[in-house]
Amino acid sequence: MPPSVPSLPRRVARILRTSLFAQVACALVLGIVVGRLWPGFASDLQPLGDGFTRLIKTIISPLVFCVVVVGIAKAGDLKAFGRIGLKALIWFEVASTLALVIGLVAANVVQPGSGMHVDPATLSAKAVDAKTGGGSLPSTTEFVLNALPTSFIGAFAENSLLQVLVLACLVGAALLHLGHTKVPQVLPAIEQAQEIIFAIVGFVMRLAPIAVFGAMAVLIGQYGLGVIETYAKLIVLCYAAAALFIALLAVALKAVTGLSLWKFVRYIREELLLALGTASTESVLPRVMQKLRKAGARDDAVGLVLPTGYSFNLDGASLYLSIGTLFIAQAVGVDLSLGQQITVVLVLMLTSKGMAGIPGSAFLALSATASSLGAIPAGAVALLLGVDRIMDSMRVVTNLLGNCVAVFAVSRWEGALDVERAQQVLGGAARAVQSVQEEVAEEPAKEPVPES
């Protein structure tokens, strides 16, 4: 007798029970509906997304520390680790500069701000000051000094990834110097702590659908869908430019490693959807690190390149900043010359590196760029206040994919990538086997047929 086919409701229920992607997708849609129909109620859901982000942030620093220390100690070559860091910085600079150039070219061709004829006298910088808290981006010297920890515990308490990376490199180097014979218990203890942290990540990720529901409801309830109509030209341009940049990333990944970006997107589709819903790449950093390791990237490469990219390789933010600068210039009727646009690229190459973790950093970078040009009124930056949150989805996806491609590319460049394993995992072979095993495990045991 052929096996019975599960009914549609049972299959849907099983997918919702077992698939994080399906859970997050449903939460995303439900959040949009609630935000649209009950905006007042939606604004009260802010703690759902904030609480999830807080839980994730508590484990990012110890996780990065453990992964980097174990990676250095097991690789056994501190020079190789230094080479990985140098190659990562080269890749970051090339990628982010390319994003800036694409943004400028796109804004020059489409002219998203032309025809708005905004009077600069009607604009006030007070709204921008409220958004940024009156802060400022650090100078290059301050940025470098801030990357150096003032205390061991303080780096973890402040959740400063760059400081934690510095400490992890020092501890990993010390373990290599002392050798396993002098401190035989330290490395196994750190490895065990790493496993505990990954287990905690699994627990916290069960709350991801709730976080996405709350964050999306707040977004739609606060801004509504009308802002999309008002800034339609700018929004479409930013997302189209991001799509072009991601296509170039796919070509680069294929050329350097032979891997398919589309298959990788399918591999991390749950993390991408979660990043979209929460508008935060930090919320998926632990899971993405884990998946990159499973996909054949060596621990030391993942531990160094991915967290560093969160500060140095903000490709989506670079696209947005370059397009946004020309948008506000066009909106107030300022025609930037080629020399001024080159200045925009040079200024943003510096300011975009110090944005991570600073409230209103995009507006601070835009204000700094406008001030350096001297031709755009400071208050013109306020034109982007209404659309900034809508751009988060573009920024987080582009930032995340840019950093993941950097991990694969630098790992391949340094010989720290198992290409065969990566192709197998991204091709779905491992997931297919796991799916079959899960289905077999869930099948009810058949009663023995009595002998005649």
For 339-365, the pLDDT digits (tens) are 888 888 888 877 666 555 555 566 677
Nearest to 399 by CA among 288, 303, 298: 288
Q: How far is it, in rounded angstroms, from Cα 401 to Cα 407?
A: 10
Q: Which residues contact 274 (CB under 8 A, 6 or more apart)?
A: 24, 208, 211, 212, 283, 284
Choose the most confident range, by mean pLDDT, from 10-24, 65-79, 154-168.
154-168
Q: Domains of the chain: which residue ranges?
A: 8-436
Q: How far is it, in rounded angstroms, from Cα 375 to Cα 336?
A: 8
Query: Could you read off the pLDDT of 142-161 as tens digits, one per residue?
Result: 767 877 888 888 888 888 88
Q: What was the pLDDT predicted at 215?
A: 82
Beta-bridge partner residues of 297? 417
Average pLDDT of the chain is 79
pTM beyond cutoff 0.85: no
Nearest to 428 by CA among 286, 262, 253, 202: 262
Cβ count within 10 A of residue 95: 25
Q: Which residue has the higher pLDDT, 380 or 290?
A: 290
Q: What was the pLDDT predicted at 119?
A: 67
Q: What was the pLDDT predicted at 437?
A: 39
The CATH architecture to which 8-436 belongs is Orthogonal Bundle (1.10)
Q: How far is it, in rounded angstroms, from Cα 250 to Cα 183?
A: 44
Q: Which residue has the higher pLDDT, 444 or 402?
A: 402
Q: What was the pLDDT predicted at 247?
A: 95
Residue 316 pLDDT more than 70? Answer: yes
Q: How far is it, in rounded angstroms, from Cα 76 to Cα 74?
A: 5
For the segment 93-98, the average pLDDT, to the nearest whole number, is 91
For the segment 307-336, the average pLDDT, to the nearest whole number, is 85
Instruction: Give the pLDDT band of residue 4 (cuts 50, 70, 90).
Output: low
Of the listed ranges 188-192, 199-203, 331-335, the one predicted with least confidence: 331-335
Cβ count within 10 A of residue 52: 25
